[in-house]
Structure 1
Amino acid sequence: MNSFSLRPALPSDLDALTRLEQRCFSSDRLSRRSFRKWLKRQHAGLMVVEREGELGGYALVLLQPGTRLARLYSIAVDPGFRGQRLGEQLMDAAEEYAHQERRLYLRLEVRKDNPAAIALYEKRGYRLFGLAPDYYEDHQDALRYQKRLHYQPANAEQIHLPWVQQSTPFTCGPACLLMALAALRNQPADTTEELLLWREATTIYMTAGHGGCHPMGLAIAAHKRGLNASVWCNQQGPLFVDSVRDTDKKRVITTLHEHFARSCKAQQIPVHYQDFTAYDLDSAIAQGKVVLVLISTWRLDGRKAPHWVAISGSDEECFYIHDPDPGEDQVPLDCQHVPIAREKFEQMRKYGQAKLRTAVVLGG
């Protein structure tokens, strides 16, 4: 093993990486185009081990922007060099890269029928936290493992919250509400129900495209479906009017806001005109409630868009979110129980010039 050296991959490694991938895998291969992309990407670490100019293996780690999460996307050791502990050397490098990038967790997927790899990961302190059925091209399941890199493992208060992917660009709120309904009432997710929820809760207009969902609108829709709901908002008056310039659109948004406020009052849905603090969020999670929080996506994808996420747990360092909208180069697994450092989350949950902070708290 001492004869092998570890270094970052270079564009000149492209051909060798492609050949190595062909030798190591019969399916689920990374393409030459993919390797070229990862060699250029800012939020990725691609490392190789080599001896006398010959590649013995590689590890690819992706960093999820705006979070404290890294993912071991792929790792491979040339069959001709196995038995020389190159896998462990690459794992060391992957963990060190994630650590240097200040990630709290490194996550990975492994085939359920690969006991050697599973044994290696568990030996290194990785803990099983999920199953992804039918994950690989041959329909084999994947086991999901993670390792806490910076601190000792914490006892996260975690709700069993099923994840739901939004089916349109504007139904993040309804998708999050479907998660709550699945957790609290065992109601399966349904695209028709998602769209109906949006029709009930939408503001109609936003800066571009269809309008998102008003917190009171989501609370009313949840109440109608048998959940206890309350709204927390740090400001009174119409929400989201700053996101449009047209006077007629502002009037529509204002009309809907007033309707939602009257409906909440008539249905005795509590509306608290104050900030929902981190302490309140921890308390709600401890009581088994599901909290939907409006965030700005700026720190996730560089766009200042309002976006609803569901909170799946918390610990001393992080809040964990279910994000219903996989971004570019993400798979659904990347959007579940995403750890966001508490100080970062406080920054994310402010939207717009008015620094709107709002949440919908749901119970069974």
Structure 2
Amino acid sequence: MHTVFRSAVVEDLPALLALETHCFTTDRLTRRSFQWMITRAHAQLMVAERDGQLAGYALVLFHRGTSLARLYSIAIAPEARGLGLGKQLLQRIEACALEHDCAYLRLEVRTDNPAAIALYEKHGYRRFALIHDYYEDHADALRLEKRILQHRDSRNINVAHYQQTTDFTCGPACLLMAMGALQADRLLERREELQIWREATTVFMTSGHGGCSPQGLALAAWRRGFRVQLQLSVNGPLFLDGVRDEHKKDVMRLVHEEFTAQLRDSDVEQSIGTTLDLPRLLDAGGQPLVLISSYRLTRSKSPHWVMVTDCDDEFVYLHDPDVDHSQHRQPIDCQHVPVSHGEFDKMCRFGRGKLRAAVVLYARAPA
């Protein structure tokens, strides 16, 4: 019997829902979810058809602006099992991810599904996380990953991820991650996230609450006992181009002047116009927070802070504190996200002035 593999269409919805019911008792995709995946999502829903009947599907999600894909779900009809369809769908999804310039494919699998775990591990997937209480029935999940381009032997995954709890605290969330990486017993708490925002905010942004400036974040880290480097492409008040109201601009200038005065009284190391040498900073034990334009990730033109966890010859790896649930993402989708060096270089230039900014934390040497 010949098997046809193709992209799903809206007409497949009844068969997809029936397959979902046969294969899963919890965590089922709904009609609305399937329709969104087929028509709107940055995703690929591939189906396997045997003798005109839907025998299986695999759904992969792509993380815009990155080199990461996620196998969100795979299902094989009971009568079609044992025919190698899972292997074939997996191979086609990997090929699809490569066509989308992805280097990594990640997935979750129930710890009580040894057959699925064996399939993935047989095809080169490695375990790198255990997630407790992941599924609706409270079962645990294994997090598996495969580098579908050239494999890297080791990668630093020692930076705990912290999800920002408001729309405007990406900077404080990243600062918590950096401090936690340098002090293993440090608690990452919302109370401190909001306190850092109060210390570091520019007061105003293009809309809504103010975000945090590089100077403000550097000072907040310095007050907490860390050695800090502040790297900027330009000096002077930042983000003024995004604010039209002259009164708001005056307030932002005053805040910047106060930050500048406080920096003069600190030992924060400041450099203007220097290039961000990530391999050197990471090798020296630095934990870099980098300002990016979120446009390349979300198509929203706003400044956004991310945490760099590692880099190699091909990729920069990021913790993104902003978990976009509208894209079916979870915190694990925003951890150690691989971004090509070329894409990262474009990403970390903000606004018409191509602003570059980074705050790098180090542990202080014992006195």
- TM category, shorter: over 0.9
Structure-1 residue corresponding to 2:9: 10
Structure-1 residue corresponding to 2:79: 80
Structure 1 residues 91 and 157: alpha-carbon distance in aligned structure 2, compared to 1, 3 A threshold? closer
One-letter amino acid of the counterpart of residue 227, structure 2: N
Instruction: Verify: 1:312 aligned to 2:303, yes or no.
Output: no
CA-based RMSD of the aligned residues comes to: 1.2
Instruction: Verify: 1:47 aligned to 2:53, yes or no.
Output: no
Contact 2:130–2:140 (Cα < 8 Å) also in 1: yes
Structure-2 residue corresponding to 1:164: 162
Structure-2 residue corresponding to 1:245: 244
Once the two structures are TM-superposed, the CA of residue 3 in structure 1 deviates from its matched residue by 2.3
In the aligned structure 2, how far is the partner of 1:80 from the partner of 1:28?
A: 22
Q: How does 1:246-261 map to 2 (within 5 A)?
A: 246-261=245-260
In the aligned structure 2, how far is the partner of 1:136 from the partner of 1:46?
A: 22
One-letter amino acid of the counterpart of residue 145, structure 1: L
In the aligned structure 1, how far is the partner of 2:283 from the partner of 2:138?
A: 37
In the aligned structure 1, how far is the partner of 2:295 from the partner of 2:207?
A: 16
In the aligned structure 2, how far is the partner of 1:275 from the partner of 1:142?
A: 43
Q: How does 1:352-363 map to 2 (within 5 A)?
A: 352-363=351-362
Once the two structures are TM-superposed, the CA of residue 236 in structure 1 deviates from its matched residue by 1.0
Task: Describe the SS at the equivalent of 1:283.
Answer: helix
One-letter amino acid of the counterpart of residue 215, structure 1: P
Structure-2 residue corresponding to 1:36: 35
One-letter amino acid of the counterpart of residue 274, structure 1: G
One-letter amino acid of the counterpart of residue 37, structure 1: W
- Give CA deviations for 1:81-126 in whole Å, capped at 9, x if unaligned: 1111111011011111111111111111111121111111111011
Task: Describe the SS at the equivalent of 1:75.
Answer: strand
- Give CA deviations for 1:155-208 in whole Å, capped at 9, x if unaligned: 455251100011110000000011112111231111111111000000000010
One-letter amino acid of the counterpart of residue 181, structure 2: A
- Give CA deviations for 1:24-59 in whole Å, capped at 9, x if unaligned: 001111111111111102511111111121111100
In the aligned structure 2, how far is the partner of 1:83 from the partner of 1:357?
A: 54
One-letter amino acid of the counterpart of residue 292, structure 1: L
Contact 1:311–1:321 (Cα < 8 Å) also in 2: yes
Q: How does 1:254-293 map to 2 (within 5 A)?
A: 254-277=253-276, 280-293=277-290
Once the two structures are TM-superposed, the CA of residue 234 in structure 1 deviates from its matched residue by 0.7
> Which stretch has the larger CA shift, 167-176 or 94-103?
94-103
Structure 1 residues 135 and 39: alpha-carbon distance in aligned structure 2, compared to 1, 3 A threshold? same
One-letter amino acid of the counterpart of residue 361, structure 1: V
In the aligned structure 2, how far is the partner of 1:26 from the partner of 1:228?
A: 52
- Give CA deviations for 1:310-330 in whole Å, capped at 9, x if unaligned: 001111110010000012221
Structure-2 residue corresponding to 1:177: 175
- Give CA deviations for 1:265-296 in whole Å, capped at 9, x if unaligned: 1011111112332xx21111122221000000
TM-score by length of 1: 0.96
Q: How does 1:1-364 map to 2 (within 5 A)?
A: 3-150=2-149, 152-155=150-153, 157-185=155-183, 186-277=185-276, 280-327=277-324, 328-329=326-327, 330-364=329-363
- Give CA deviations for 1:64-85 in whole Å, capped at 9, x if unaligned: 1111111100000011211111
> Which stretch has the larger CA shift, 132-141 or 315-324?
132-141
Structure 1 residues 43 and 227: alpha-carbon distance in aligned structure 2, compared to 1, 3 A threshold? same
Contact 2:309–2:318 (Cα < 8 Å) also in 1: yes
In the aligned structure 2, how far is the partner of 1:10 from the partner of 1:244?
A: 44
- Give CA deviations for 1:300-359 in whole Å, capped at 9, x if unaligned: 111110000000111111001000001222111111111000000000000111110000
One-letter amino acid of the counterpart of residue 30, structure 2: S
Contact 2:70–2:107 (Cα < 8 Å) also in 1: yes
Task: Describe the SS at the equivalent of 1:158.
Answer: coil
Contact 2:179–2:361 (Cα < 8 Å) also in 1: no
Once the two structures are TM-superposed, the CA of residue 148 in structure 1 deviates from its matched residue by 1.2
In the aligned structure 1, how far is the partner of 2:279 from the partner of 2:196?
A: 27
In the aligned structure 2, how far is the partner of 1:5 from the partner of 1:221?
A: 58
One-letter amino acid of the counterpart of residue 302, structure 1: R
Unaligned ranges ≥5, structure 1: none
In the aligned structure 2, how far is the partner of 1:295 from the partner of 1:97?
A: 28
Runs of 4+ in 1 over 4 A off after TM superposition: none
In the aligned structure 2, how far is the partner of 1:171 from the partner of 1:317?
A: 29
Structure 1 residues 357 and 155: alpha-carbon distance in aligned structure 2, compared to 1, 3 A threshold? farther
In the aligned structure 2, how far is the partner of 1:305 from the partner of 1:161?
A: 25
One-letter amino acid of the counterpart of residue 303, structure 2: P
